[in-house]
Amino acid sequence: MKRQPLAYRMRPTSVEEVIGQHSLLGEGMMLSRMIKANQLSSMVLYGPPGTGKTSIARAIAGSSGMHFRMLNATVHHKKDMETAVEEAKMYGSLLLILDEVHRLDKAKQDFLLPHLESGLLLLIGATTANPYHSINPAIRSRCHIFELEQLEPDDIEKALRRALADEERGLGHEKIDIAPEALRHLALACGGDVRAALNALELAVLSTPKQPDGTRSVTLRSAEQSIQKKSIQHDKDGDAHYDVLSAFQKSIRGSDVNASLHYLARLLEAGDLISIHRRLLVIAYEDISLANPQAGPRTLAAIEASERLGLPEARIPLANAVVELALSPKSNSAYKALDAAMDALRKGGSGEVPRHLKDAHYKGAQQLGRGSDYKYPHDYKDGWVKQQYLPDKIADHRYYEPKQTGKFEQALSEMYKRRS
């Protein structure tokens, strides 16, 4: 009988064995409290591939001691779910771990709902798709949603070392000499996918010939070939990855499209889509903003396309976004204006709301002078009339300083001058 892949064998059998996901399973976190109190309820675990969704579901089952059954919404039929319900009736309840939960069709949903409602079935769904977009509201409303984070390289390296040491489930029965840079490369190049890292480790080890003493010496080259990605240089403290992200944003901000694409290529080679997505969205609103207002929505559309496509095709919409952002005019005036307003507020720059702006939609408001003398702008030419909106204390404060880098903000600037 063929042995299961290393990633499958190394799945945690209890919550204590789970690596990473401290925001869910750390001390005092909601999911951790639910497990410790043995007060489980139906849930959906949502996150990128290889972050441990199914592993955590199995670990919860192991820690709770509940009978469980694993099904896949794509592969298994309604009849399989009927069998699960019969088991639940035998045991009093059943933990149903359902992979690809967003693929549930209407017939399966309609069958499951009353059993979730009664508590006969406790559902742990796993999905890579955003449950707020992809899961039927009737199912979603009966579940807690927990989002898993991409695992950090240090967490993945810990999982790899555990697999190397485990004699029963892992590779501990082998004599393995693995170069530190090879292990680190697997942890970095897997893009946060611990399953990919573990299976690449197994391939690297088993494809390496034994030396006369029985030792297998795994090199960086073997690791690169096994995970099919070349090593990207990181310094010993791991800061280089963040240096590339910083250089990526600064190159776009500096309108150097070639440098921007270079750093995008480095991040894609590392498989770090999540960091790319976050950084691009920040750039669109921090560095381009009012100079090209459509850059934000178009960047978000490119990110959503990238998420749906996955690598390698994800590079195509991302390249479009990076070229547009790099060559767009730049402005940071909007968020700088807000920062100035917040800074002034924290320093005591507030004051009382002017009486003519106060809420007048209640009986007795007029007697209190609320809303009196308010001028309704739509009653005036061009929908504007001069009146005071800031509190008396800060009536002359100005926070917004427009830039002239794009036509849209130039138009805003003209309006600002006329109405200030």
Question: For 229-237, what is the mean pLDDT?
Answer: 45
Domain shared by 25 and 143, yes or no = yes
Domain shared by 108 and 165, yes or no = no
Say what the pTM is: 0.55
Which of the residue ranges 101-110, 248-257, 365-374, 390-399 would you say has the lowest mean pLDDT? Answer: 365-374
Tens digit of pLDDT for each residue in 292-308?
Answer: 999 999 999 999 999 99
What is the domain count for the chain? 4
Cα–Cα dist 201/52, whole Å: 17
Domain shared by 51 and 139, yes or no = yes
Tens digit of pLDDT for each residue in 335-362?
Answer: 999 998 998 888 876 788 888 888 877 7
Residue among 139, 54, 157 nearest 102 (CA):
139
Q: Which residues contact 97 (CB under 8 A, 6 or more apart)?
A: 54, 57, 58, 61, 68, 69, 70, 71, 124, 126
Share of the chain above pLDDT 70, in %: 95
Domain shared by 208 and 256, yes or no = no
- Does any domain span residue 12? no
The pLDDT value given to residue 2: 63
Q: Give me the helix-helix angle, 315-327 and 295-309, nearest 10°.
A: 160
CATH of the domain at 261: 1.20.272.10
Domain shared by 186 and 90, yes or no = no
Say if residue 238's pLDDT is above 50.
no
Of the residues 102, 125, 147, the one at which a domain ends: 147
Domain shared by 39 and 140, yes or no = yes
Say if residue 19's pLDDT is above 60.
yes
Residue among 59, 15, 51 nearest 148 (CA):
51
Cα–Cα dist 18/65, whole Å: 16
CATH of the domain at 349: 1.10.3710.10
What is the b/e burial string over 364-386, where b = at least 16 CB atoms within 10 angstroms of the residue's CB?
Answer: eeeeeebeeeeeeeeeeeeeeee
- Does any domain span residue 333? no
Domain shared by 222 and 250, yes or no = no
Average pLDDT, the chain: 88
Cβ atoms 281, 299 nearer than 8 A:
yes
CA distances from 120 to 73, 117, 128, 145, 258 (A): 19, 8, 26, 20, 58
Say if residue 79's pLDDT is above 70.
yes
Domain shared by 302 and 250, yes or no = yes
The pLDDT value given to residue 240: 64
Question: For 186-196, what is the mean pLDDT?
Answer: 88
Residue among 258, 245, 324, 318 nearest 291 (CA):
324
The pLDDT value given to residue 237: 37
Question: For 249-277, what is the mean pLDDT?
Answer: 91
Of the residues 277, 300, 327, the one at which a domain ends: 327
> Which of the pair, 132 or 325, is modelled with greater confidence?
325
The tokens for 104 are 């549930």
Tens digit of pLDDT for each residue in 373-417?
Answer: 888 899 888 888 899 988 888 888 888 888 898 888 898 888 888
Domain shared by 137 and 162, yes or no = no
Domain shared by 102 and 157, yes or no = no
The boundaries of the domain holding residue 196 are 153-226
Of the residues 226, 252, 272, the one at which a domain ends: 226
- Does any domain span residue 114? yes
CATH of the domain at 174: 1.10.8.60
- Does any domain span residue 62? yes
- Does any domain span residue 336? no
Cα–Cα dist 57/125, whole Å: 8
Residue listed under structure tokens 């530190």: 180
pLDDT bin (cut points 50, 70, 90) of residue 365 is: low
- Does any domain span residue 254? yes
- In terms of average pLDDT, the best of 22-36, 130-144, 163-177 is 163-177
Q: 3-state SS string over the chain? A: CCCCCHHHHCCCCCHHHCCCCHHHHCCCCHHHHHHHCCCCCCEEEECCCCCCHHHHHHHHHHHHCCCEEEEECCCCCHHHHHHHHHHHHHHCCEEEEEECHHHCCHHHHHHHHHHHHHCCEEEEEEECCCHHHHCCHHHHCCCEEEECCCCCHHHHHHHHHHHHHCCCCCCCCCEEEECHHHHHHHHHHCCCCHHHHHHHHHHHHHCCCCCCCCEEEECHHHHHHHHCCCCCCCCCCCHHHHHHHHHHHHHHHCCCHHHHHHHHHHHHHCCCHHHHHHHHHHHHHHHHHHHCCCHHHHHHHHHHHHHHHCCCCCHHHHHHHHHHHHHCCCCCHHHHHHHHHHHHHHCCCCCCCCHHHCCCCCCCCCCCCCCCCCCCHHHCHHHCCCCCCCCHHHCCCCCCCCCCCCHHHHHHHHHHHHCC
Domain shared by 222 and 245, yes or no = no
Cα–Cα dist 52/126, whole Å: 10
Question: For 51-73, what is the mean pLDDT?
Answer: 90
The pLDDT value given to residue 218: 95
Domain shared by 28 and 130, yes or no = yes
The pLDDT value given to residue 203: 95
pLDDT bin (cut points 50, 70, 90) of residue 1 is: low
Share of the chain above pLDDT 90, in %: 50
